[in-house]
Amino acid sequence: MPLVDWVLHPTEVWAAFWYFMRNAPPDEKTVKLQVSSDMKRCYDFLEMTSRSFAAVIQELNPRLRDGICLFYLILRGLDTIGKDMRGMTC
């Protein structure tokens, strides 16, 4: 049914077209980022964790991008630990 959804929302087709024409694939974006090797490793973890958030975070202003990347990874790690702890019984 995705084709029917796109027919009903033609502005989304136009936005998707321009997004794909303007943006590089996620693997190329990590290479293009002008960051240290440590931050490149963080962006690799980000892409392994969530490709959808990785695409959005990499589009942010460079002054915000690194901090938000680290903050997201830290919160995902804490969320994972919290979920693991809920399953444990003492």
pLDDT band at residue 83 using 50, 70 and 90 as cut-offs: confident
Quick: pLDDT tens for 5-35: 666 777 777 777 666 666 655 555 555 567 7
Run of H or E residues at 26? helix 26-32
Quick: pLDDT tens for 35-69: 788 888 888 899 899 888 888 888 888 888 889 99
Which contacts of 31-37 are long-range, i.e. CB under 8 A and separated by 24 or more positions?
A: 33/58, 34/62, 35/66
